Amino acid sequence: MLQVTIGLSTLLFSLGLDQAYVREFHDVANKPALLKQSFLPGFLLLFASLVGLLSLGDFMAMWLFDSSSFQLSLLIAIALLAAFVSRFLSLVLRMNERGLAFSMSQVLPKLLLLGFIGLYVYAEVDKTLTNLILANTAALVFVSVVFAFNTRKEWVAGAASKIEFEHLKHMLRFGMPLIFGGIAFWGLTAVDKVFLRALASFEELAVYSVSVSFAAAAIILQSVFSTVWAPTVYKWASKGEGLENVHRVTRYVLALVVVLFCFAGLLSWIVELFLPPHYSEVQWIVVSCLGYPLLYTLSESTAVGIGISKRTGFSMLAAVIAFFVNTLGNWLLIPKYGAAGAAVSTCFSFWVFFLLRTEFSIFLWKQMPRLAIYSYSGLVVFGAIVFTLFGSRLGLITVGFWVMVLVLAMQSFRKEFETAWRFSCGIVKRKASGNSY
């Protein structure tokens, strides 16, 4: 519940200005002033809201944890503020292309939390909710302090700058639609758990959660690509060059997405070796659970026109439509198929999300050849759905399907795979010889 609240509050109170900061970064000369302009409105609004909620005593703790504790409410408020600060300061590292520092910004909170939990176990601290929330809050605060130190030049310079209200209005017009789209996207990724809890059992929810956990390995790809891709494209756009590479990159991403779906379908039986017998369904469900991270990554490469044109309302529309598709799919499929139905519904809805973002980008920006993109993405989504719902009955037929798609992909994307292989070999050779690149 704490993580859900942090995600939603950061989304709401950022006012879309975090995305506006990324979009405007390469177009403005005074970047510290841009940071202040992006950060301050949402922070002040969040701070005032938390003060109001704390004046109600233990309201937040009761709402989230059904626990009457003002101490917990205070910890929640501190965690929300620290997470908000960390969000914006991590963007400074990202946009200034400080790769190692930004990577640490993504990993450090989790490492610190594990460290605090480890200390609890070693010191035999009581296993209470308050101590758990304290560990989370301490990790977030520590990370925000580290970020503040690493970005001190930017935010100190920004603190002395003035806010340009006309420019702020322009940024809000860009960012505000992203809030509603973000909420719709948040619902798109959360509605499956809500419906499983309401229409199925805790056992089905557990199976689905384990399947999502295995598929979450692909979120690494999504996170890395999204982190690098958006600043790169906006940098190209600000200079009016390099945009011809968008289609080339999309083909590389498509090839990787197809191959990962195929390998997941062929090797999903391995997860059964690590799980108890009553989690045997995970091997079928995990392939559809890959739909969220992989199709979202693919949509990031094809939807650049929405960001370049600054018509972010179309991103909101795509998320809203996909959310309703997922809601309907979960309502129809979960009563009959349980966790498998939730996975299939989410996978299909993300394919709809990808299609809409791509078409909107083409409408707003320029044409993109997309026969191969739609054909291969549709093929692997169809395969994932059939595999999840009927794989246990079809047996070797599913193996034949994934092998066929893999062979087709290797043929269609032969040049991309050869280029990637030569590039990888070149890196290994340069590393072996001790040369930088």
pLDDT over 70 (residue 243): no
Residues 312, 390, single domain; the answer is yes
- Give percent of the chain above pLDDT 90: 27
Distance CA(227)–CA(102), nearest Å, equals 9
- For residue 168, tell me if it sits in a domain: no
Distance CA(244)–CA(42), nearest Å, equals 36
Torsion of CA 272, 278, 284, 289, to 10 degrees: -100
Highest mean pLDDT pick, 82-96, 214-228, 419-433: 82-96
Q: Confidence band (pLDDT; 50, 70, 90) for 437?
A: very low
pTM exceeds 0.85: no
Q: Which residue did the predictor score with more confidence, 429 or 414?
A: 414
- 175-186 pLDDT per residue, tens: 777 777 677 777
Last residue of a domain, one of 109, 129, 163: 163
List b or e across 134-167, with b for residues whose CB sees 16 or more CB atoms inside 10 angstroms: bbbbbbbbbbbebbeebbeebbeebeeeeeeeee
- For residue 170, tell me if it sits in a domain: no
332: containing domain: 175-429
pLDDT over 70 (residue 242): no
Mean pLDDT of 322-342: 93
Q: What's the confidence (pLDDT) of residue 431?
A: 61
Taking a C-beta distance cutoff of 8 angstroms, is the pair 391, 280 a contact? no
Residues 159, 179, single domain; the answer is no
Last residue of a domain, one of 131, 163, 195: 163
Q: Which residue did the predictor score with more confidence, 178 or 391?
A: 391
Question: Tokens standing for 96?
Answer: 């200034």
Residues 193, 151, single domain; the answer is no
- Mean pLDDT over the full length of the chain: 84
- For residue 260, tell me if it sits in a domain: yes
Mean pLDDT of 252-280: 90
Residues 89, 117, single domain; the answer is yes
- For residue 435, tell me if it sits in a domain: no
Residues 60, 119, single domain; the answer is yes
Taking a C-beta distance cutoff of 8 angstroms, is the pair 87, 14 a contact? yes
Last residue of a domain, one of 99, 131, 163: 163
Residues 136, 273, single domain; the answer is no
Residues 230, 357, single domain; the answer is yes
- Which residue has 């209005």 as its token pair? 169
pLDDT over 90 (residue 256): yes
Least confident window among 18-22, 368-372, 375-379? 18-22
Residues 321, 384, single domain; the answer is yes
Taking a C-beta distance cutoff of 8 angstroms, is the pair 169, 322 a contact? no
Taking a C-beta distance cutoff of 8 angstroms, is the pair 167, 306 a contact? no
Residues 112, 230, single domain; the answer is no
Q: What's the confidence (pLDDT) of residue 54?
A: 87
- Which residue has 């080339």 as its token pair? 248
- 3-class secondary structure per residue, the chain: CHHHHHHHHHHHHCCCHHHHHHHHHHHCCCHHHHHHHHHHHHHHHHHHHHHHHHCCCCHHHHHHHCCCCHHHHHHHHHHHHHHHHHHHHHHHHHHCCCHHHHHHHHHHHHHHHHHHHHHHHHHCCCCCHHHHHHHHHHHHHHHHHHHHHHCHHHHHHHHCCCCCHHHHHHHHHHHHHHHHHHHHHHHHHHHHHHHHHHHCCHHHHHHHHHHHHHHHHHHHHHHHHHHHHHHHHHHHHHHCCCCCHHHHHHHHHHHHHHHHHHHHHHHHHHHHHHCCHHHCCHHHHHHHHCHHHHHHHHHHHHCHHHHHHCCCHHHHHHHHHHHHHHHHHHHHHHHHHCHHHHHHHHHHHHHHHHHHHHHHHHHHCCCCCCHHHHHHHHHHHHHHHHHHHHHHHHCHHHHHHHHHHHHHHHHHCHHHHHHHHHHHHHHHHHHHHCCCC
DSSP states of 139-184: HHHHHHHHHHHHTHHHHHHHHTSPP-HHHHHHHHHHHHHHHHHHHH
Task: Show Cβ contacts of residue 114 under 8 Å, excluding neighbours closer than 6 positions.
Answer: none
Note the residue count of the chain: 437
- For residue 285, tell me if it sits in a domain: yes
- CB atoms under 10 Å from CB of 219, counted, come to 17
Q: Confidence band (pLDDT; 50, 70, 90) for 427?
A: low
Q: What's the confidence (pLDDT) of residue 306?
A: 86
Distance CA(9)–CA(3), nearest Å, equals 10
Residues 271, 192, single domain; the answer is yes
Mean pLDDT of 74-101: 82
Residues 108, 206, single domain; the answer is no
- For residue 169, tell me if it sits in a domain: no
Task: Show Cβ contacts of residue 251 under 8 Å, excluding neighbours closer than 6 positions.
Answer: 372, 413, 416
- For residue 436, tell me if it sits in a domain: no
Give how many domains the chain has, as a whole number. 2
Angle between helices 414-433 and 396-412 (to 10 degrees): 80
Residues 198, 248, single domain; the answer is yes
Distance CA(43)–CA(10), nearest Å, equals 10
